[in-house]
Amino acid sequence: MADYADWTLQRGDLNISRARAALDLLASEQRQTCSPDDIARLQELTTDALSVEEIAITSSGRVICNTWGLVRNEMRLTEKSIPLSDGYSLRLNGGGISTPSNGMVVVSHGDYHALLKRARLVDVLHDTPMLLGIASLDGQPIALSGDADPELVSRLVKEETSGFNESEVFASRRGKDFAAFAISNRSVADWRTDSELWKMVPIGVGISLALIALIVWVSRQRLSLAGELATGLHKKELLAHYQPIIELSSGRCIGAEALVRWQKPDGTWVRPDLFVPFAEQNGMIGQVTAIMIQNVILNMKTALAEHRDMHIAINISPQDLESGQFLTLITDEIHAADVQASQVWLEVTERGFIHADIARTTLAKARDAGHVIAIDDFGTGYSSLSLLESLPITVLKIDKSFVDAIGRNAATSLVTPHIIEMAHSLKLKMVAEGIETAEQETILRQSGVQFGQGWLYSKALPFEEFITFYEKRNAGQKTVRR
Ligand code: C2E
Ligand code: MG
Ligand code: MG
């Protein structure tokens, strides 16, 4: 429960920091006149700053323009606000500059205001009976994912705590600006006995038939994909391609990420972002991971034995972390092939940390076996700093969206230096993902990011092509021991 409270706090902080970043840009650019150029900039920042729905500029408390244009009717900021750190403030119920009924909170800095949907601050988990909430440090509820007992809430936000009563378990966390809490029924058995579905039964035979047809169609599609994937796994239609990873200071190729590819017998390729999530949801990802491990060792054992400073990174799914079976398989394969454990990196995403204790146990075993553990797509999930510190991670992969933002004057670009700084302070090595331009490479290298991967260097390659790339790229360069 404490982890859930922690994630909620991180989620709230992240959303507010995106709003802050957009407001800081407006202030630094001195956008005050609401010229057509200013309004175009408001629109651009609203699109860029994920979770910001609208931005407004006021003069003496009156809104003069917002993302949608000039504002002629009288709209005034409400006086009452919750102070946040660094001179920002927060207003509830639309803050007077948006209709109260639409559930907006307003983050303000001077005359600049960003509107966020209140519900966004707590949308940490989907489809859960758990109640998550954020409140001001003095106990005013800001966003709740459901109904909560006000007395329990005010007790939870007063100090960090965790515990239970006859009917609920709960925990709370306090941050710089907010307190967050998670409350769950002790018995989830009675969860949703008044499910929405039952209320909808008497809607009419026509709709029911259409629904049945839809369900049949969807399950056929699922069955056919499940069947095809099972056949594909059995017939070994899945294989690994390798995307080179480059040391930014020297330009050397130091290894590759293995990315799964599926070519069907008719020659068509299925994209991994379609079938990997499907395999995860349908209990088939363990087999995909196993095929990848076998492929990687089969393809790369000679090169890995020849170049001890070369590594291959394998993607590990949350379910793999839970079962831990992949580790036995890797150990068996590398022993039979004269490959060192340090040459096999494991990429895990923040989604894998939902069950933090299980992840910690499996990752500790992997670290003890000698593997390097990287956190993938960093910045897109919800894991907290304290959680990261408690896991044996030594490499952080900066997600492509943060690399894309570099040099674009987008709100997210303000977050990138923070991620880099954080990695430095945690002494983590970094791999920047999705580098496409020389400008991105230069900025990342100058910021002390050690490694990069992306189309600037190469797309993922079949293994023979990767070996050629590696030899060519490193020709004449001395091997460096890491
Ligand atoms: P990922 O692990 O973050 O992999 C990086 C993705 O970014 C790859 O897409 C790669 O081709 C793409 N990429 C790399 N550089 C660039 C660039 O410069 N520009 C652009 N636009 N894209 C770039 P891919 O191969 O389609 O894989 C998508 C995702 O599928 C992966 O993201 C990973 O989450 C998952 N995946 C791929 N292979 C495996 C696997 O073997 N096991 C598991 N569990 N997941 C996998
Ligand atoms: Mg990856
Ligand atoms: Mg990634």
Q: How confident is the model at residue 166 (pLDDT cuts 50, 70, 90)?
A: confident
pLDDT, position 188:
45
- Tens of pLDDT, residues 351-382: 877 777 888 899 999 999 999 999 998 877 66
Annotate 339-387 with three-state secondary structure.
CCHHHEEEEEEHHHHCCHHHHHHHHHHHHHHCCEEEEEEECCCCCCHHH
State how far the Cα of 10 lies from the Cα of 21, in Å rounded to an integer. 16
Q: Regarding predicted confidence, which is higher, 213 or 342?
A: 342
**One CATH from 3.20.20.450, 3.90.1200.10, 1.10.10.10, 3.60.21.10 for 225-473:** 3.20.20.450
Look at ligand 1, atom 42, and give the residue with the nearest C-alpha.
315
For residue 295 and ligand 1, the question of a CB distance below 6 A is answered with no
Look at ligand 1, atom 28, and give the residue with the nearest C-alpha.
273
State how far the Cα of 126 lies from the Cα of 147, in Å rounded to an integer. 16
Q: How confident is the model at residue 199 (pLDDT cuts 50, 70, 90)?
A: low
Query: Which range, of 30-39, 128-137, 154-163, averages the lowest pLDDT?
Result: 128-137
pLDDT of 158 over the 60 cut? yes
Q: Mean pLDDT across the stretch 298-326?
A: 95
pLDDT of 240 over the 90 cut? yes
Q: Mean pLDDT across the stretch 53-81?
A: 90
Return the number of other C-beta atoms located less than 10 Å from residue 225's C-beta.
Answer: 17
**Ligand 1: nearest atom to the Cα of 273:** 30
pLDDT, position 434:
96
Q: Regarding predicted confidence, which is higher, 292 or 267?
A: 292
Mean pLDDT of all residues in the chain?
Answer: 86
Q: Mean pLDDT across the stretch 149-155?
A: 87
DSSP class of residue 309? T
Q: How confident is the model at residue 480 (pLDDT cuts 50, 70, 90)?
A: low
pLDDT of 126 over the 70 cut? no
For residue 260 and ligand 1, the question of a CB distance below 6 A is answered with yes
pLDDT of 71 over the 80 cut? yes
* CA nearest neighbour of 30 among 111, 90, 107: 111
pLDDT, position 64:
92
pLDDT, position 74:
85
For the entire predicted model, the pTM comes to 0.61
**Ligand 1: nearest atom to the Cα of 271:** 26
The two structure tokens encoding residue 446: 């100058």
Q: Mean pLDDT across the stretch 150-171?
A: 87
Q: How confident is the model at residue 268 (pLDDT cuts 50, 70, 90)?
A: confident
Query: Which range, of 102-106, 111-115, 245-249, averages the lowest pLDDT?
Result: 102-106
pLDDT, position 195:
47
Cα of 341 vs centre of ligand 3, distance in Å, is 21
For residue 292 and ligand 1, the question of a CB distance below 6 A is answered with yes
Burial class (CB in 10 A: 0-12, 13-18, 19+), 56: buried
pLDDT of 393 over the 60 cut? yes
pLDDT of 90 over the 90 cut? yes
Cα of 338 vs centre of ligand 3, distance in Å, is 28
pLDDT, position 326:
96
CB 393 within 8 A of CB 374: yes
3-state secondary structure (DSSP) of residue 121: helix
CB 82 within 8 A of CB 69: no
- How many Å is the maximal CA-CA distance in the chain? 76
Q: How confident is the model at residue 194 (pLDDT cuts 50, 70, 90)?
A: very low
Q: How confident is the model at residue 198 (pLDDT cuts 50, 70, 90)?
A: very low
pLDDT, position 216:
62
State how far the Cα of 474 lies from the Cα of 247, in Å rounded to an integer. 11
Q: Mean pLDDT across the stretch 322-350?
A: 94
Separate counts of helices (H) and strands (E) for the chain: 15, 21
Q: Mean pLDDT across the stretch 312-336?
A: 94
State how far the Cα of 388 lies from the Cα of 390, in Å rounded to an integer. 5
pLDDT of 479 over the 90 cut? no
Q: Regarding predicted confidence, which is higher, 82 or 205?
A: 82
**Which residues pair with residue 91 across a beta bridge?**
106
pLDDT, position 241:
97
- % of the chain at pLDDT higher than 90: 45
Q: Regarding predicted confidence, which is higher, 182 or 478?
A: 182
Most confident region among 223-227, 385-389, 463-467 by mean pLDDT: 463-467
CB 453 within 8 A of CB 445: no
- % of the chain at pLDDT higher than 70: 88
The two structure tokens encoding residue 1: 């429960």
Cα of 425 vs centre of ligand 2, distance in Å, is 23
State how far the Cα of 7 lies from the Cα of 354, in Å rounded to an integer. 10
